[in-house]
Amino acid sequence: MKFSEFKTIADTLDYFGYTVHNEEFINFENIAPIEIPDYLKKDIRFVLAERGDTDMEFYACEFLISPLLKEAWKRNPKAKLYSHPQIKYEDLILVPDYVVAPRNKTGVNIFSKPLLITVEAKNDDYEKGWADVYRQLVVARLLNENQAIPIYAIVSIGKGWEFGKLDGNIIYKHPLGIGLDNANKLLGVLDFIFADCVKTAEKFNLY
């Protein structure tokens, strides 16, 4: 069965045997906040103040989401953050806003599997964002060709961030989100996720 034949995301998940669990798979309280650099604090305030009513997810993607992901990446340089890479499986082509993967073993700076995090930006529409992320997780798992490699997922509307993780046949969706009003905690959680991806890459000898 090809992806184009699935009418809903529920059909897709059911076909591949995945279920979604609302569960606190990360204990936010156990993660120490990380101080946001002063320059980034000023940038975030400026971007929020200047955001217009017609600015869509590209605005949040470039000016709010990317800078925070980049801060977590800088703290975990063994990971590699890619912007809008194309991932393809059979007749389906997806373009996540961001993907994290191990650095290529050859040292060549090109996108390569396995995928460890997929990030989707949506304009005040978490439901649409999660529908897209579920598809990305399914395709990422197929491309990775290894059921044991967990894959994180993030959906952000810029001001707010939500988190998920595909582990085994379960997609864990954290019932709590984190907003920019708690930016230090948000960076702490992003750092935790990036660091866990580095541990996964080391465990599976992906470098």
Residues 150, 169: contact at Cβ < 8 Å? no
Domain range enclosing 43:
13-203
- Residues 173-184 have a mean pLDDT of 97
Task: Provide the pLDDT for residue 32.
Answer: 97
In a domain, 104, yes or no: yes
How do residues 73-94 score in pLDDT, each as one tens digit? Answer: 999 999 999 999 999 888 889 9
Long-range Cβ contacts of 37-43 (<8 Å, 24+ apart)? 37/71, 40/67, 40/68, 40/71, 41/183, 43/67
In a domain, 53, yes or no: yes
In a domain, 94, yes or no: yes
In a domain, 85, yes or no: yes
Q: Strands 19-22 and 170-173, how do they pair?
A: parallel
In a domain, 2, yes or no: no
Specify the length of the chain in residues: 207
Total number of domains in the chain: 1
DSSP string, 54-80: T--HHHHIIIIIHHHHHHHHHH-TTEE
- The Cα angle at residue 195 between residues 35 and 200, in degrees rounded to 5: 170
Q: What CATH number does the domain containing 81 carry?
A: 3.90.1570.30
Q: What is the dihedral of CA 161, 124, 68, 51, to 10 degrees?
A: -150
Share of the chain above pLDDT 70, in %: 99
The pLDDT confidence band at residue 143, using thresholds 50, 70 and 90, is: very high
In a domain, 42, yes or no: yes
In a domain, 1, yes or no: no
Write phi, then psi, for 162 (nearest 5 degrees). -125, 155
Query: Is the per-residue pLDDT at 45 higher than 80?
Result: yes
Query: Is the per-residue pLDDT at 21 higher than 90?
Result: yes
In sequence order, the β-bridge partners of residue 160 are 179
The pLDDT confidence band at residue 113, using thresholds 50, 70 and 90, is: confident
In a domain, 3, yes or no: no
Residues 122, 86: contact at Cβ < 8 Å? no
